[in-house]
Every structure is written in structure tokens, then in C-alpha cells.
């Protein structure tokens, strides 16, 4: 009986096992036939975004969130505390000068204490600041302060001795170093009784720098603020240095005394309505000049200006802030936010747009809202003064800033925009180009030009007495005009500018710029401007420039470009692309250029550039800012708000080209977890039945 039951059980098990094997074969067959199809269907782009698209959309979200909550945002606009970069300690030098001015004025304030603390924190433990000019200026500062700084002074002197340096004989390496050195010697002449103008300025060199003003027709007779020969952005400081040089000299003629009084009066008239001058530097030197000319610290011109510096031009660290560019920062930020999908009707964006409208140079609203001090417009310096924007409210307008803001305001105030577009055409040079600050600026006759060119470095001559057209600025203007419907087909002024740009490349096959370093930024602005006014992106000039950018892409996928800091000021014909480590800003500019030139978002250079931006974005959604802003010559500047706007603009342009939705109100990401397919459910049920049968049979005797 036992043998019979065992044999029966073996037969039943064999039958069930055979059945299970058949079922298993069926399962394998179904899996092989339908599994891959179902898996492929679940992973198709229709159901889930590719990792790159998801990463780009997330990066845009994070960037937008950071910008909206950025520390650079001040109420209804954005503005960075701009710092200086490059090989020299520009911020340190200016902060020392600021502390020296306050010390000379006898102002013992918290602002001065913070500036001194900033300076001391950056000193090497066994010496000074590894910079001869900063060492001499800092040594004078510590010698004038009430405090125990003997050890610090000894260490600084030791560093100067090791370098065999002399304040009289030290030679400046660059023109800007020469200007710093000139001012340092002026401070010593004013504040150190052991030093005289005759010692520190031998051979009449005290007259040379500010005396350039007197070589021009601007001071023949009564000074004309709208017809002077020196470029406006150098004028205020030049006047201040002239006043100071006349104060410290011992052999001043009667005519020179009269000139000093006239210059002082002009300096007072050139204040902005805030009571300060055009820039923080101008304000600092103007205050010192007025003090030496006899004004007291409690007199309004000095009291108001020093308060403005303390409240507006000092970072929390104590650093003297070189510039703040709220108009520039706000305009680019608004463009970046709207390009990323934020509606122009968003309240934050609308408030910023209104701030830009109010900040126009000729607008009285800004003065009223800010309750500023001087109830008058600032003294104009040229015939084309207003109707545009500068990098900060109330400053004389420039064409690049006006173009950027006019493009930003396109969705808003039609009257203001139309007026500003007309203004851009009004300030176009006769040859169809745009300069930066002025129109057809050619103030000197051939004899005067020859004399000054012998006196000055080429780049310094251009800075003081020229305002040449720059391709990057012309790109800005065309970007704006194109956004308002002006093209090569319907406007002769646009055609003239396009003709200029198509012939303005140099041997790099690219275009240079002011404001951003240098060929990367210029080429980006020009390509976008040309395409924006209807130029075929397949034109050889555009494609060759784009290819030149691709050739200079770094192995990490980004772009980086530097500038020469030694020797002369670079001119626009100094055609060198200086490769440098990648930066987020320059990578963003290059990507914008390539996409505008028609490169596919799948092009390897574009994808690598986008990946670089994704890889370098920080957890809070921002990118590290780099010193890539400049005015055509050293130093370079770090503008954190501009950095964030540039990166967001580039990612948004890529997303638009690749069809990636980055709007903040887009549907949430699809559930990327794979659903359980029906074929798998059926297979599992079959296996479950088979297992149950086997278990049941094993339980039977």
C-alpha cells in the first residue's frame, strides 16, 4: 500500500511539475514578447521628461526662486554691491583712500572704523598687502590714526624695504596704477608734514594729470558744461584732482587761483540731485577737494556727500563699494525672469518695470519718491542729456543702458518706450554707429590731438578724449530696436548699423565689447542684435563668429576669457582672445550667441555648455559671480545680480529652443515610477496558482 501511495504521489507531482513547467514557459514567452514593449512605452518621452530636460527645468526654477529672494533685491529693484577683480587689489586701495579722506576731514565715524578694519584684515601677518601702492597708502593711514599700530607699521615698512621701494621713485606698471600713485602722493603732501609737493612731484609732474583739462578748449574763457573736451565719465575726478594739485603747490599764479575758484564752482554745479557726484569715486575726491578749498565738514556740500557715501557705498564688510548699477541689474533681471516664463504681469516684475520707468534720467518722479536733497536737475554735460537711462538713476544717459531698458519695457509703458526708441535714433552717429556716452564726439582739432597723443598713453587718450563706437553697444541697440519691430527691411538707420557691424570683426573673427569681457560678450550681443533685426543667421559673418566661439570652448564645456592687465589700456584694435578658466557668465553669453546663430540645442557645444551651467549651479540656485564686467580697460568688476540674470537667460533660451516648459505654472512632473503592466500581473497569477497546487499536493498523503 505504501508503495502504491508513493507511486501515485510521484505521478501527481510529475503531472503538476509538468504543468508548472508549461506555465513557466508561457510566462517566459509572454515576458519576452510583451515585456520590452511595455517597458519602452512606460519610458517614452511622452510619459516622462528626459533627465536633461528635467534638470534644465529644475535649474530654471531654482534660479528664478533665488533671484526673487536675492540679497541683491531692494524692494522694487535689484542692485549688487559691485566689487573689483583682477590682479591688483583695487577694492583695498579704494577703501584705504576712503578711510584717508574721512581721516583728513576729521570724521571719526563708524564707517571709518569699518573701513580700517577691512583694510587690516587683509594685511599679511608679516608685512603689508603685497602691493606697493596699497602699502604706502596704508602706512600713511595707520600713521594718522589714533591707536597702537606700531607693529603693523613696522611690518609694512619691512615689506617696502625688502622691495627697495621709494614713494618718489616707484614706477607705475599701468596707467591706472599711475593715477593711484598720483593720488597717494597727493595724500602724503596733504597729510604728512615731512613730505612736500616739490619732493613728491619733481619736474612739475604735479601739473601733468589734472593739467590735461587746461590743454583743451573747454577752459578757454567760461567753462561750458555741454561743450567740454574731456569725456564726461572722467570729468568730475579730473576737476577734483586739478583743485587739489593747485592747493598743495606753493607757486600758484593769479590766473591759476582764478581757475581753481572756477573749477570749484563747476564741481559744485555738477552734483547729482542726491547731493553726490556721478560715481562713488568722484564723490570721494570731490569732498576732499572742497575741503581743501575751504569748505567745512558741516557745510552742506561735504556733509550731504559724506553721508551719502556712508549710507550707499559701503558693504557690510567695510569695503568701499566701487559701483552700484541698479538700472543695469534690474533691467537684465526682469528680462531673465520673463524669458524663464514668469508673466510680465507678475507683481514683482511690474514693480521693477515701474521703478525703471521712474529711473529715467529726465524723470522727476524718482527725485520726488526719494525725497532727494537738491531741488534741481543735475548740470547737463552735453546736448544729448536725457530721455534715456544710465546705470543708476539721475546720471546722464548712455546708449547701451538705454537700449537694454527700452527692450525690457517693451510689454509696458508704450509712451515711454516709443520716446526712448526715438531717442536711440537721435543719438546715432552720422556714420550709422552708436558710441557709448555721446554722439559724434570729436572735440579736438588735429593740432590738439597730436599734442595730447604725445603726452598720453593711447588707451588713456581714448578714455579722456574719445568715445568710439563699440560693436557690443551697437549689438545692444539692435537687440532693442528689433524687439520693437525695426529691421533691415524697414529702417535705413538699422541698415547703416548692420553694415558697420558686418565689417567690424577683427582677426579673431569676433566682435569686442564694453561692459562685458570682451569678445565673448561682444559676439553674443552682436549676433543677437543682427538676428533680431532680421539679418539671416546663416550669413558667413555670423557663422564664422559662432564657429570662433566654439573653437574656444574649454574642455569642461564652459567658456572663459581674460584681459590684459599690464602695459597699456587695450584698444579695440588689440585683437587678442585670452583664454581663461570657464565662468558661468561667459558660458551663458556664448550659449546665447550660438542659439541665436541657429545652432541646434542638440549641438555638442551647446549641450556641453548647458551641462556646465547645471554642474556649477549652487544648491541655493545661484552661480558664483566672476570678474567679467569692465569698461573697456582694467579693472574688471564682479556684479552678482548680472551673473544670475545671464545664466537664467541662457538656460531659458536653451529651454525655448529644446521645447522644455519652464514656466512656473506648468503642470507638475509626471510620476516617473513605472506602473505594474497587465502582462506581469497575469504572469504572477499563473505562478501563484501553480505554487498553490504544488503546496496542496505535497500536503496530501
Structure confidence by residue, pLDDT tens digits, 347-360: 999 999 999 998 88
Residue 632's region, left for phi above 0, alpha for psi from -120 to 50, else beta, is: left
Per-residue pLDDT, 39: 38
Residue 191 cell numbers, joined = 597729510
> Which of 228 and 551 is assigned the larger pLDDT?
551
CA distance 438 to 570: 20
Residue 38 cell numbers, joined = 511595455
Model confidence, pTM? 0.83
Residue 221, C-beta contacts closer than 8 angstroms, at least 6 positions apart: none
CA distance 525 to 641: 18
CA distance 307 to 153: 30
Residue 626's alpha-carbon distances to 168, 270, 517, in angstroms, are 35, 33, 11
Q: Is the pLDDT of residue 378 over 80?
A: no
Single out the residue of 281, 217, 219, 211 nearest to residue 456, CA to CA: 211
Please state which of the ranges 173-182, 334-343, 377-386, 387-396 shows the lowest mean pLDDT. 377-386
CB 186 within 8 A of CB 227: no
Single out the residue of 645, 617, 640 nearest to residue 629, CA to CA: 640
Mean pLDDT over 591-612 rounds to 97
Residue 248, C-beta contacts closer than 8 angstroms, at least 6 positions apart: 186, 189, 190, 197, 206, 292
CB atoms within 10 A of CB 37: 11
Q: How confident is the model at residue 571 (pLDDT cuts 50, 70, 90)?
A: very low
For 379-398, how does the pLDDT look when each residue is reduced to its tens digit (9 = 90+)? 555 555 567 888 877 677 88
Cell 590714526 maps to which residue? 145
Element (H, E) at 580: strand 578-583
Return the DSSP state at 218. Answer: G
Q: Is the pLDDT of residue 594 over 90?
A: yes
Beta strands, E only, 156-293: none
Assign 398 to helix, strand or coil.
Answer: strand
Please state which of the ranges 13-17, 226-230, 430-434, 517-521 shows the lowest mean pLDDT. 13-17
CB 420 within 8 A of CB 402: yes
CA distance 476 to 479: 5
Residue 313, C-beta contacts closer than 8 angstroms, at least 6 positions apart: 280, 283, 320, 321, 324
Element (H, E) at 74: strand 73-74
Per-residue pLDDT, 191: 95
Per-residue pLDDT, 223: 54
Q: Is the pLDDT of residue 38 over 90?
A: no
What value, to the nearest 5°, has the Cα angle with vertex 94 and ends 93 and 98? 120
Per-residue pLDDT, 211: 59
Cell 602691493 maps to which residue? 131
Per-residue pLDDT, 682: 53
Cell 550707499 maps to which residue? 312
CA distance 167 to 576: 34
Q: Is the pLDDT of residue 634 over 80?
A: no
Please state which of the ranges 198-207, 295-304, 535-544, 558-567 shows the lowest mean pLDDT. 198-207
Q: How confident is the model at residue 192 (pLDDT cuts 50, 70, 90)?
A: very high
Assign 44 to helix, strand or coil.
Answer: coil
CB 577 within 8 A of CB 552: yes
Single out the residue of 291, 271, 293, 295 nearest to residue 282, CA to CA: 271
Q: Cα-atom radius of gyration of the chain, to the nearest Å?
A: 33
For 96-114, how does the pLDDT look when each residue is reduced to its tens digit (9 = 90+)? 999 999 999 999 999 999 9
Residue 418, C-beta contacts closer than 8 angstroms, at least 6 positions apart: none
Per-residue pLDDT, 202: 76
Q: Both ends of the chain: CA-CA distance in Å? A: 12
Residue 440's region, left for phi above 0, alpha for psi from -120 to 50, else beta, is: left
Strand 578-583 relative to strand 627-630: parallel, antiparallel, unpaired? unpaired
Q: How confident is the model at residue 523 (pLDDT cuts 50, 70, 90)?
A: very high
Q: Is the pLDDT of residue 218 over 60?
A: no
Q: How confident is the model at residue 628 (pLDDT cuts 50, 70, 90)?
A: very high
CB 173 within 8 A of CB 161: no
Please state which of the ranges 204-213, 232-241, 299-308, 408-417 shows the lowest mean pLDDT. 204-213
Assign 107 to helix, strand or coil.
Answer: coil
Mean pLDDT over 291-311 rounds to 95
Q: Is the pLDDT of residue 444 over 80?
A: no
Please state which of the ranges 164-178, 357-371, 463-477 shows the lowest mean pLDDT. 357-371
Per-residue pLDDT, 346: 95
CB atoms within 10 A of CB 377: 15
Mean pLDDT over 455-479 rounds to 79
Mean pLDDT over 558-566 rounds to 82
Q: What rounded mean pLDDT belongs to the chain?
A: 82
Please state which of the ranges 8-17, 154-163, 266-275, 352-361 shows the lowest mean pLDDT. 8-17
CA distance 560 to 430: 35
For 8-37, how does the pLDDT look when each residue is reduced to its tens digit (9 = 90+)? 555 554 544 554 454 444 444 444 444 433
Per-residue pLDDT, 699: 53
What value, to the nearest 5°, has the Cα angle with vertex 542 and ends 539 and 544? 100
DSSP output for 501-561: HHT---TTSS---SEE-HHHHHHHHHHHHHHHTT--TTSHHHHHHHHHHHHT--TTS-EEE
Mean pLDDT over 553-575 rounds to 72
Cell 531659458 maps to which residue? 652
Residue 311 cell numbers, joined = 549710507
Mean pLDDT over 616-631 rounds to 94
> Which of 95 and 416 is assigned the larger pLDDT?
95
Cell 549676433 maps to which residue? 527
DSSP output for 294-306: T--TTSHHHHHHH
Q: Is the pLDDT of residue 364 over 50?
A: no
The helices-and-strands tally (H runs, E runs) of the chain is: 28, 8
DSSP output for 627-694: EEEESSSSPEEE-HHHHHHHHHHHHHHHHHHHT----TTSPPPP--SPPPPHHHHHHHHHHHHHHHHH
3-state secondary structure 596-635: HCCCCCCCHHHHHHHHHHHHHCCCCCCCCCCEEEECCCCC
Residue 515 phi/psi, 5° resolution? 90, -45
Return the DSSP state at 378. Answer: P
Q: Is the pLDDT of residue 93 over 70?
A: yes
Amino acid at each position: 500500500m505504501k508503495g502504491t501511495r508513493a507511486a501515485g504521489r510521484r505521478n501527481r507531482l510529475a503531472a503538476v511539475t509538468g504543468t508548472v513547467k508549461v506555465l513557466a514557459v508561457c510566462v517566459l514567452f509572454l515576458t519576452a514578447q510583451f515585456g520590452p514593449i511595455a517597458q519602452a512605452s512606460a519610458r517614452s518621452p511622452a510619459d516622462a521628461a528626459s533627465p536633461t530636460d528635467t534638470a534644465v527645468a529644475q535649474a530654471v526654477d531654482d534660479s528664478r526662486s533665488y533671484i526673487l529672494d536675492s540679497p541683491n533685491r531692494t524692494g522694487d529693484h535689484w542692485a549688487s554691491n559691485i566689487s573689483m577683480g583682477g590682479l591688483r587689489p583695487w577694492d583695498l586701495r579704494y577703501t584705504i583712500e576712503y578711510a584717508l579722506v574721512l581721516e583728513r576731514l576729521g570724521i571719526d565715524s563708524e564707517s571709518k572704523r569699518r573701513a580700517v578694519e577691512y583694510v587690516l584684515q587683509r594685511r599679511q601677518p608679516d608685512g603689508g598687502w603685497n602691493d606697493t601702492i596699497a602699502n604706502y597708502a596704508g602706512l600713511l593711514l595707520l600713521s594718522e590714526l589714533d591707536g597702537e599700530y606700531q607693529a603693523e607699521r613696522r611690518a609694512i615698512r619691512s615689506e617696502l624695504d625688502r622691495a627697495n621701494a621709494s614713494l618718489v621713485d616707484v614706477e607705475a606698471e599701468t596707467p591706472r596704477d599711475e593715477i593711484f600713485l598720483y593720488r597717494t602722493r597727493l595724500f602724503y603732501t596733504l597729510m604728512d608734514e615731512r613730505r612736500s609737493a616739490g619732493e613728491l612731484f619733481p619736474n612739475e609732474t604735479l601739473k601733468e594729470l589734472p593739467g590735461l583739462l587746461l590743454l583743451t578748449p573747454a577752459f578757454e574763457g567760461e567753462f561750458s558744461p555741454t561743450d567740454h573736451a574731456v569725456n564726461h565719465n572722467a570729468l568730475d575726478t579730473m576737476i577734483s584732482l586739478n583743485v587739489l594739485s593747485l592747493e598743495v603747490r606753493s607757486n600758484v599764479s593769479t590766473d591759476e587761483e582764478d581757475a581753481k575758484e572756477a573749477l570749484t564752482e563747476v564741481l559744485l554745479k555738477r552734483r547729482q540731485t542726491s547731493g553726490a557726484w556721478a560715481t562713488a569715486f568722484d564723490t570721494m575726491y570731490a569732498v576732499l577737494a572742497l575741503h581743501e578749498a575751504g569748505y567745512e565738514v558741516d557745510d552742506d556740500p561735504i556733509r550731504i556727500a559724506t553721508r551719502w557715501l556712508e549710507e550707499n557705498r559701503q558693504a557690510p564688510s567695510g569695503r568701499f563699494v566701487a559701483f552700484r548699477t541698479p538700472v543695469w541689474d534690474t533691467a537684465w533681471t526682469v528680462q531673465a525672469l520673463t524669458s524663464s516664463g514668469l508673466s510680465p504681469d507678475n507683481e514683482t516684475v511690474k514693480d521693477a518695470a515701474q521703478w525703471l520707468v521712474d529711473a529715467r534720467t529726465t524723470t522727476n518722479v524718482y527725485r520726488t519718491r526719494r525725497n532727494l536733497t537738491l531741488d534741481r536737475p543735475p548740470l547737463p554735460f552735453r546736448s544729448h542729456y536725457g530721455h534715456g537711462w544710465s546705470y543708476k538713476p539721475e546720471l546722464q544717459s548712455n546708449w547701451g543702458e538705454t537700449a537694454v531698458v527700452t527692450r525690457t519695457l517693451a510689454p509696458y509703458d508704450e509712451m515711454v518706450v516709443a520716446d526712448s526708441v526715438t531717442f536711440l535714433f537721435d543719438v546715432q552717429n552720422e556714420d550709422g554707429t552708436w558710441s557709448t556716452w555721446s554722439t559724434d564726439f570729436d572735440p579736438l582739432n588735429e593740432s590738439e590731438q597730436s599734442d595730447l597723443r604725445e603726452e598720453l598713453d593711447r588707451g588713456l587718450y581714448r578714455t579722456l578724449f574719445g568715445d568710439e563706437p563699440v560693436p557690443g553697444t551697437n549689438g545692444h541697440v539692435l537687440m532693442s530696436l528689433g524687439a520693437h519691430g525695426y529691421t533691415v527691411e524697414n529702417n535705413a538707420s538699422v541698415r547703416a548699423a548692420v553694415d558697420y557691424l558686418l565689417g567690424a570683426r577683427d582677426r579673431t573673427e569676433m566682435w569686442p565689447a564694453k561692459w562685458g569681457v570682451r569678445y565673448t560678450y561682444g559676439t553674443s550681443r552682436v549676433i543677437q542684435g543682427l538676428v533680431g533685426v532680421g539679418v539671416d543667421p546663416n550669413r558667413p559673418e555670423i557663422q564664422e563668429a559662432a564657429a570662433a566661439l566654439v573653437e574656444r570652448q574649454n574642455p569642461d564645456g564652459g567658456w572663459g576669457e581674460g584681459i590684459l592687465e599690464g602695459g597699456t589700456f587695450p584698444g579695440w584694435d588689440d585683437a587678442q582672445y585670452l583664454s581663461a578658466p570657464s565662468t558661468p557668465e561667459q558660458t551663458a553669453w556664448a550659449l546665447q550667441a550660438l542659439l541665436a546663430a541657429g545652432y541646434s540645442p542638440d549641438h555638442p557645444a551647446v549641450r556641453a555648455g548647458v551641462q556646465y551651467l547645471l554642474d556649477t549651479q549652487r544648491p541655493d540656485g545661484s552661480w558664483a559671480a566672476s570678474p567679467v564686467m569692465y569698461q573697456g580697460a582694467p579693472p574688471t568688476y564682479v556684479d552678482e545680480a548680472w551673473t544670475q540674470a545671464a545664466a537664467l537667460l541662457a538656460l531659458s533660451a536653451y529651454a525655448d529652443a529644446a521645447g522644455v516648459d519652464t514656466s512656473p505654472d506648468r503642470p507638475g512632473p509626471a510620476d516617473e515610477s513605472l506602473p505594474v503592466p497587465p502582462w506581469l500581473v497575469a504572469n504572477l497569477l499563473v505562478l501563484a496558482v501553480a505554487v498553490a497546487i504544488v503546496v496542496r499536493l505535497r500536503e496530501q498523503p
